[in-house]
Chain A
Amino acid sequence: MTFEYAPAPESTSVVKIKSEYGLFINGKFVPAKGGKTFTTINPATEERLTKVAFAAPSDVDKAVAAARTAYSKVWSKMPAAERGKYLFRIARILQERAREFAVLETMDNGKPIRETRDIDIPLAAAHFFYHAGWADKLEHAGVGSSPKPHGVVGQVIPWNFPLLMLSWKIAPALATGNTVVLKPAETTPLTALLFAEVCQQADLPAGVVNIVTGDGSTGSAIVNHPDIDKIAFTGSTAVGKGIARAIAGTKKSATLELGGKGANIVFEDAPIDETVEGIISGIFFNQGHVCCAGSRLLVQENIQDELLEKLKRRISQIRVGDPLDKNTDLGAINSAAQLAKIHELSQSGDLEGAERWSPQCDLPGKGFWFPPTIFTGVTQAHRIAQEEIFGPVLSVLTFRTPQEAIEKANNTPFGLSAGIWTDKGSRILWTAKHLKAGVIWANTFNKFDPASPFGGYKESGWGREGGRHGLAAYLKGNH
């Protein structure tokens, strides 16, 4: 007997989307040069939400100038404890307006309200609260006795966790005394612009945070701006390498959080039901739009059949559809372009001989959708074992010995995340030691916390975000 779920939509009445948004420069919303705008849509319905200013390089100039003035005249002179209080204020206002942010994020991004409500927004607030407490303790950050901020930081963030990535960037930058010019992703600008209102409500001094919306050309203007001291970027490895080239020979330093192809390793003694849940959250959390997704399942050969049977049964229960429905597990793909990329890579899986499986599920007629999908019989040479799909698509490979698991897990230019499932403690620590990855989840997956450093080995990027290690990246040491 099966129970049907009745629709349980979250009300959108808490959100008031304006007909147009300007750039947030020097504490005020201003139009872009020439009044240029672009539209942002709801990817679950393809409905137009609003139009947003499109920042030209001259607008970026203004934002950088505002950030520079705020840095030298106000923010760098303010006592650290007072600076911290602004971050506490921001954290509190985010908590007060959490539901509004959650609904707006779901509308602009397509991710389920369950995730924005329970993960994205609470974690964003927690990031500001955590870093607020650091502001007057920077001499304990591990970079020497008199750490200094870089100055003006340029930040470019992706569309997969719009407000959360904003908080990962802005909170440590402000806590350490830097000022910020941030560009949200082209498809998800709205919560960043709502955050600008939070800065106004918190009375944050004008110019400390500047938000410029636009596309890659706007991001490029930030990266190449001569008066920016540090770049922090989260996004694709290709763009990250371009940033590394662009800043070579300049005074700029950079933190880069790039792509991944995380191995989720299941040993024969793994607790099977918990493991199935961990695999699900590893690849289907946020539609798989997660750089640290457990997108390669490495299962010990002798338990593959049992595990796959249970996994398929569990995937069949995933509810795909209206992201605003409180029962939805898997929401919309963020954009038509991303959907096309997922289709293209999945088709390469078919062509290269892997076996595709998806449960029977009805996808909505409008919007961008992709069913939860697994490929079995994947070999290491397949594109779907090597390239980041950034969608709800799991590649399944097998291994016989722990050494083989390590070799396969590390056989990638990426090194962001990995998972380990086993009941044996010594095996967890042995496996963790040999994995070339910056974040390792043992008997869990896709957990995040402001106190926990996050970032990758190899081509997954430079530096860490979160924790003391992430904070240190925003400071110049004296030793």
Chain B
Amino acid sequence: MRIDVKKTYKLYIGGAFPRSESGRSYEITNSKGVFIANPAQASRKDLRDAVVAARSAFGGWSGATAFNRGQILYRAAEIMEGRSAQFVDEIVAIEGITPSAAKKQVQEAIDTWVWYSGWCDKIGSIYGSTNQVSGAFYNFTIPEPVGVVGAFAPQKSSLLGLVQTIAPIIAAGNTVVAIASQKLPLPAITLAEVLATSDLPGGVVNILTGITAELAPWMGSHMDVDAVDASGLTGAQDKELRIAGSENLKRVSTFKSELSPQRLLAFMEHKTVWHPIGL
């Protein structure tokens, strides 16, 4: 008989997999109360470190060509495909759903990467514009990434919801500090292992596990976070985050649909440039 080698589930910050600097972890059980793992319980310092990593990565990622970003998102889909069985096992264990339902979720997550990959080099064409101003000026508007985005993944989905949250944010050229579902965090860390091997520069995606209610106010008051996807928050947490976020006028959004260019545009700023036309 062989004893399994179990994985230590750690955070994903700046391309590395540290434990929480606080030394804290919390217990995850399956739907029947059976112990599964002790993932890291991220602290305020971990969140701040993740924001620093995301800010450092922003220049390179937003400066990369859209074609390049699209290829890297597609690469994430490729690597996930190869790891499908592992994701299915983890989702079955943590969500308590059937293997076929878990498989469907994994396939949808992979296809979500592919869908958003294709948006990278089209969002500007579709949502930018040349503007017919009254005068001898050339005037155009382009969407640009807003910067560092904090993202609270939906609580009820361990993998798919997280991918639907992260993919559009980075497709738009932002970097992200994502907070995994509090009770279903393990596939998020496996996703981090996929991203770490997908040519995605370290710091573009940072993933924290921990207590949502604890992390939300720290995200809301962080002055170097430009925008937040609040999908995984309760109404009260959402309100509190928006109040704290008003201090630097964070752009806070939630979404109706999983696949929508609005998920990119919510984390983009439109820049308009004027230049005279003349000899």
Contact = CB atoms under 8 A, between A and B. Distances in A.
Interface in A93-149: 126, 142-143
A262 interface: no
A141 to B, nearest CB: 11
A451 B243 contact: no
B244 to A, nearest CB: 9
A310 interface: no
B249 A256 contact: yes
Interface stretch (A66-74, A191-199, A345-353, A442-450): A442-450
Interface residues of B, number: 39
A451 B133 contact: yes
A459 interface: yes
Contact of B249 (A442, A453, A458, A468): A458
B242 A447 contact: no
Contacts of A126: 134
B276 A413 contact: no
B100 interface: no
B129 to A, nearest CB: 6
A280 interface: no
Contacts of A439: 271-272, 274
Interface in A220-247: 237, 240-242, 244-245
B243 A479 contact: no
Contacts of A91: none
Contacts of B271: 432, 437-440, 457
Nearest to B257: A479
B243 to A, nearest CB: 5
A452 interface: yes
A477 to B, nearest CB: 7
Contacts of A455: 270
A249 B238 contact: yes
Given A444-B275, A458-B226, A244 B141 contact: no
Interface string B121-144: 000001101011111010101000
Given A241-B249, A459-B249, A462-B251, A452 B275 contact: no
Contact of B131 (A237, A442, A453, A459): A453
A442 B246 contact: no
Interface string A423-448: 00000100010000111111110010
B89 interface: no
Given A441-B274, A443-B276, A477-B262, A449 B249 contact: no
Interface in B225-245: 226, 235-236, 238-240, 242-243, 245
B248 interface: yes
B21 interface: no
A473 B146 CA distance: 17
Contacts of B139: 449, 451-452
Nearest to A122: B134
Contacts of A461: 249
B247 interface: yes
A467 B242 CA distance: 28
B274 A452 contact: yes
A245 B276 CA distance: 40
Given A432-B271, A442-B274, A449 B134 contact: yes
Contacts of A241: 246-247, 249
12 contacts: A244-B246, A248-B246, A249-B235, A413-B248, A444-B137, A444-B275, A451-B133, A452-B139, A457-B146, A479-B257, A479-B261, A479-B262
Interface of B: 126-127, 129, 131-135, 137, 139, 141, 146, 226, 235-236, 238-240, 242-243, 245-249, 251, 256-257, 260-262, 269-276
